[in-house]
Amino acid sequence: MASGCRIGWMAMLALGLAGGCVSRQGDVTDLSIPVAATTEPAAAPVRSEPPIAAQQAGPAAAEPPEIAAPPNPTTEQITVLGHSFTGLWKVNSPKRLGMDVGLLSGVHIRYSGETGDRDICELRQTGDRLDAHCLRLARNVAGSIDGNQITLTSWIGPANLILTASARSGSSLVGSISGGALGARMTGGVPIEATRLTVPPDGAERPSAPLVRDVLADIGGGRLTAGRYAPEAAVRLKNELGDMQAGQSELGPLQGMTYLDQLLPRHPFDPREHPLEVYRVEYAKGTQLCGISPGEAGTVDDFICR
């Protein structure tokens, strides 16, 4: 991603950290494994000494060997907890990010300054495989899980972004994202942190929701309503309109929207820009993550939908 926003996710999850089933709470699997309980061996029965007369009568016949009591058949339960990373995650990274992409030199990332919430990604875990779909990353990310260690890679031709992170819990990831080429790291890591997103409960509709539906209608119709968009947003959307319309048509009719959270605007240090408000948009055949930055006069200052 050439822009600071797009590298932001790549800073997720690259990741960060894809349309699919979302888990709103940390998925925890309880496995009860029966384990045979250890028991104390049964005490041997007390034997009485034979009468003296019997002792004098000569050696007694050998007694049959005693059979130990069978172990107690009771079992104890051991609970094993397994965390699933499937769900929505919010990615925090440095506000000031820059990226250079070279055919042979790979991806080089520059960063500085305080951090902020830059992206929201949807993760899907299948066994030890992990796939990520992010708002600010134009391509999906794929990787794997080894215990509590996560690796995700996004390719830009031969160049790539590589995220490595450790799971501190089922709801927190800490790691870094590095630039590279041909799968090898070539730059130092940019620190990132991701937290599992708790979806707000249904409530009053946010003021930005009708504007999101208007933009989606424009995309579906293949034309932008005059006066609805700020100049920069209009230019950007016109360049992407064909691809956005084709992607939307594959998903079928709009079913609903769920507000998720706010992210840094496209230009975090411009005080005129408002935060990006992010929605998960549900269609008949899939989902998208869409973000809108409303302007002062009810216009659209920025819009992203993937």
Write the pLDDT tens digit of every residue in 17-76: 333 333 333 333 332 223 333 333 444 444 444 444 444 444 444 555 554 444 444 433
Q: Tell me which residue of 188, 192, 157, 198 sits closest to 175, measured CA to CA.
A: 192
Write the pLDDT tens digit of every residue in 65-110: 554 444 444 433 332 335 789 999 999 998 877 666 555 555 556 6
In percent, the amount of the chain with pLDDT more than 90 equals: 49
- Mean of pLDDT values over 133-159: 85
CATH topology of domain 4-26+84-196: Lipocalin (2.40.128)
Write the pLDDT tens digit of every residue in 105-141: 555 566 677 899 999 999 999 999 999 999 998 777 8
Res. 161 pLDDT band, cuts 50 70 90? confident
Residue 288 is predicted with a pLDDT of 96
* DSSP per-residue codes, the chain: --SHHHHHHHT--------S---SS-EEEEEEEEEEPP-PPPPPPP-PPPPHHHHHT-PPPPPPPPPPPPPP--EEEEEEEEEE--EEEEEEEEEEEEEEEETTTEEEEEEEEEEEEEEEEEEEEETTEEEEEETT-SS-EEEEEETTEEEEEEEETTEEEEEEEEEEETTEEEEEEEEEETTEE-SPPEEEEEEE--PPPS-SPPTHHHHHHHHHHHHHHT-PPTTSB-HHHHHHHHHHHHHHHHHHHHH-SEEEEEEEEEE--SSTT-TTPPPEEEEEEEETTEEEEEEEEE-TTS-EEEEEE-
One-letter amino acid at 287 equals T
The residues spanned by each domain of the chain are: 4-26+84-196, 208-305
CATH topology of domain 208-305: Nuclear Transport Factor 2; Chain: A, (3.10.450)
Q: From residue 242, give the alpha-carbon distance in Å to each of 220, 223, 236, 279, 303.
A: 10, 10, 12, 21, 15
Residue 157 is predicted with a pLDDT of 67
Report the range of poorest mean pLDDT among 191-205, 214-228, 243-257: 191-205
Res. 177 pLDDT band, cuts 50 70 90? confident
Half-sphere exposure of 173 (CA within 13 A, CB side): 38
Q: What is the token pair recorded at 213?
A: 């539906």
* 253 pLDDT above the threshold of 90: yes
Q: How many residues does the chain have?
A: 306
Q: If you compute the radius of gyration of the chain from its CA atoms, what whole number of angstroms results?
A: 31
Residue 106 is predicted with a pLDDT of 53
Report the range of poorest mean pLDDT among 29-38, 137-146, 260-269: 29-38
Instruction: Please say whether the beta carbons of 15 and 192 come within 8 A.
Output: yes
Q: What is the token pair recorded at 260?
A: 């998720």
Residue 204 is predicted with a pLDDT of 82
Residue found under tokens 């590279």? 180
- Mean of pLDDT values over 176-187: 66
